[in-house]
Amino acid sequence: MSRSLKSYIAGVVTVSAMALLVATLVYPASPAIAFPLPGVGTSTGVATLAGVGFWILLTLVSWALPVKLPFGTHVGVATAPMLAAMYLGGPAVAGWVAMLGTTERRELRGEIPWYGSLANHAGIALPAIVAGVVLQVLPGATAGTLAEFVRAMIASAVFWILNVTLAGSLLALRTNQSLRVVIIGDSRGMALNSLALGPIGWLMSVLYIFQWWTTLLFALPLYTTRQAAARFVEMREMF
């Protein structure tokens, strides 16, 4: 491992861990994330933890089948539940869901070095936290549904840009490729597909507030989105 790669991993992991700690202390989970447990209601800490656990579980399931892009980065539909958790719970919830919900089977089987796992999780959690903070500070929180949607889309764009940059930087350092080549090569044709997960996540968060089980209805469109990404990659590799 090169010195620059070691420094990058150490820096990203350290900053991500500090950001998660600060976000947890400064931005407590919003009541909207609470899961309606029978006999408990939604105004307790248990209900809040259950809600966070629910979104971690959804993210884990969604992350199970990522698509590997030609230049080596991965894309998946887990962005939608991650963003939904951010819209509902705030920066800290977004960070924890992104950190824990992106655990892969390869990690559990020991196929990924521990430092690689830390870098991968940090590269997702940090953008989620930053995007959550952006959502908090943007004006218009009480200006109606349209303003709420616009705020959510700005935050989701921030998440995507940071995530692509961090993932691309890690891959570029690991493979000695140009960062520009990696980012442009893997983002070309997939940017709109990835950004479209922002509105899906927002819809999931809105429906969760009314009936939590309605979020499960997004399984089919998310799977369809994943398959479309896989077909796109196959077509690119053919020509």
pLDDT digits (tens, 9 = 90+) for 77-122: 788 999 999 999 999 999 999 999 988 877 778 778 888 889 989 9
pLDDT at 72 over 60: no
Token pair of 171, please?
A: 């891959």
Q: What is the dihedral of CA 151, 33, 206, 121, to 10 degrees?
A: 60
Whether the pLDDT of residue 179 is over 80: the answer is: no
Regarding pTM above 0.95, the answer is no
Q: For residue 180, what pLDDT is reported?
A: 73
pLDDT-derived band at 153, boundaries 50, 70, 90: very high
| Interval 141-170 mean pLDDT | 88
The Cα 124–Cα 119 span in angstroms is: 9
Q: Is the pLDDT of residue 39 over 80?
A: no
From CA 147, how far away is CA 125, in angstroms rounded?
Answer: 25
Copy the structure tokens of residue 11. 């820096």
pLDDT digits (tens, 9 = 90+) for 138-151: 987 777 788 899 99
Higher pLDDT, 238 or 210: 210
State the Cα–Cα distance between residues 121 and 160, nearest whole angstrom.
Answer: 15
CATH architecture of 3-104+111-233: Orthogonal Bundle (1.10)
| Maximal C-alpha separation, the chain | 58
C-beta separation of 183 from 168 below 8 A: yes
Q: Which of 30-39, 96-105, 129-138 has the highest mean pLDDT?
A: 129-138
Give CB contacts under 8 A, 24+ apart, made by 30-39. Answer: 30/88, 30/89, 30/90, 30/93, 32/88, 32/89, 32/205, 32/209, 33/85, 33/88, 33/89, 33/90, 33/93, 35/212, 36/212
Average pLDDT, the chain: 83
Enumerate the domain spans of the chain.
3-104+111-233
